[in-house]
């Protein structure tokens, strides 16, 4: 009867991951988790079947995978000791801790990069807002200067107009006086 690594591991109180690691240690498999291959020593006991999900438009429809089973007779040659099991469990735990540390470091790096980008965006936003506020202040200042200039030029133009018109007004007033005096003299 053919057994998977998980089923074979149950015979020894191990998980599938632990049993695969034991088989690596004993020389029946080689490689890393998720990418094991049978060694020459393991070929008489292992059967590998390749599967393909078929054709399709997406990568997950075209998935390839392998299943590996071991003959019952492998139990006769396996030497699974308590020391080997504890060593394998320690390696697996160490690998999990290492992967967790790598994930944590990657997450912290990504968070730091994200926060740096957000800080740069915020700084740019504040810079733009400051420039806009300065531009609006300048615009208001120019409006004020324009209004003051308009009022000042109005006053100057009015003063100039009065200056130019005053002699004519004096002449007109004198003419008007003379005409009135003449009329009053004639009516008398």
Full strand arrangement of the beta sheet holding 2-3: 2-3, 64-71, 46-52
How high is the pLDDT of residue 56?
A: 61
Confidence band for 88, pLDDT divided at 50, 70 and 90: very high
How high is the pLDDT of residue 89?
A: 93
How high is the pLDDT of residue 67?
A: 85
User: Which percentage of the chain shows pLDDT scores above 90?
Assistant: 56
How high is the pLDDT of residue 178?
A: 85
How high is the pLDDT of residue 54?
A: 67
- What is the arithmetic mean of pLDDT over 148-173? 91
Q: Compute how many other C-beta atoms are within 10 angstroms of the C-beta atom of residue 92.
A: 16
- Rounded Cα–Cα distance for residues 144 and 141 (Å): 5
Q: Does residue 139 carry a pLDDT above 80?
A: yes
Confidence band for 50, pLDDT divided at 50, 70 and 90: confident
């Amino acid at each position: 009867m053919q057994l998977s690594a998980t089923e074979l591991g149950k015979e020894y109180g191990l998980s599938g991951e632990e049993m695969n690691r034991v088989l690596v240690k004993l020389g029946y498999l080689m490689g890393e988790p998720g990418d094991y291959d049978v060694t020459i020593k393991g070929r008489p006991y292992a059967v590998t079947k390749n599967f393909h999900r078929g054709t399709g438009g997406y990568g997950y429809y075209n998935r390839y995978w392998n299943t590996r089973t071991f003959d019952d007779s492998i139990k006769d040659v396996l030497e699974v000791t308590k020391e080997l099991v504890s060593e394998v469990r320690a390696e697996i735990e160490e690998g999990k801790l290492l992967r967790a540390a790598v994930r944590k470091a990657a997450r912290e790096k990504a968070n730091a990069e994200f926060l740096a980008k957000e800080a740069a965006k915020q700084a740019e936003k504040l810079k733009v807002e400051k420039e806009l506020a300065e531009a609006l202040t300048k615009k208001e200042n120019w409006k004020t200067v324009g209004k003051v200039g308009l009022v000042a030029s109005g006053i100057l133009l009015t003063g100039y107009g009065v200056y130019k018109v005053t002699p004519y007004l004096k002449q007109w007033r004198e003419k008007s006086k003379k005409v009135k005096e003449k009329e009053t003299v004639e009516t008398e």
